[in-house]
Structure 1
């Protein structure tokens, strides 16, 4: 017996699939898009692990830092060069970068 089953995929379903299946970890995003500048503190970027440099940013909270990342600042372009990153992915990158300075 042959059956043909129709499958309807909505845009919302595709978005959920893309976010869940292909989401990058904070660590991956930092390695690919953030580490080059933040390792050395290039262009005014707070260096990874530098508590003094991160202190004023931490005062803004994650939402404040995310707003800065989304719009860019100084030498950092919007989304820190990760144009395909979602806000959740960028939030994960912020969490990863600041874990050692909180």
Structure 2
């Protein structure tokens, strides 16, 4: 019994981050993206400014996500969210687009 419990706890602790529940777009934006995308730091498009997001939205969500993953202009790869999954980044971008119409 004791051995089984130790194995179960060890397996739980070794669960990869990717297997954990993904954060939603608003959470990722509020904790990782907001610092630059609220102020326009280093040329980041500001959330809520449709004129800044319109040309980017025209690229499509998949192209925007690919750019964010690789990094673009002054934004390093994945911005400040090195622990984000591609899906979490896509959700954060969608959140920013939805709030910039």
5+ long unaligned stretches in structure 1 = none
Give the alignment's Cα RMSD to 1 decimal. 2.1
Task: Please name the residue that 1:63 is paired with.
Answer: 62
Deviation readout 1:1-50 (Å, 9 max, x if unpaired): x8xx8x9x8xxxx56xx546331111111111110001011111000100
Q: How does 1:5-16 map to 2 (within 5 A)?
A: none
CA distance in structure 2 between the aligned counterparts of 1:92 and 1:84, rounded to whole angstroms: 14
What is the match of residue 77 of structure 2?
Answer: 78
Instruction: State the TM-score, normalized to the length of structure 1.
Output: 0.78
Mapping 1:17-96, distance limit 5 Å: 18-19=17-18, 21-96=20-95
Partner of 1:98: 97
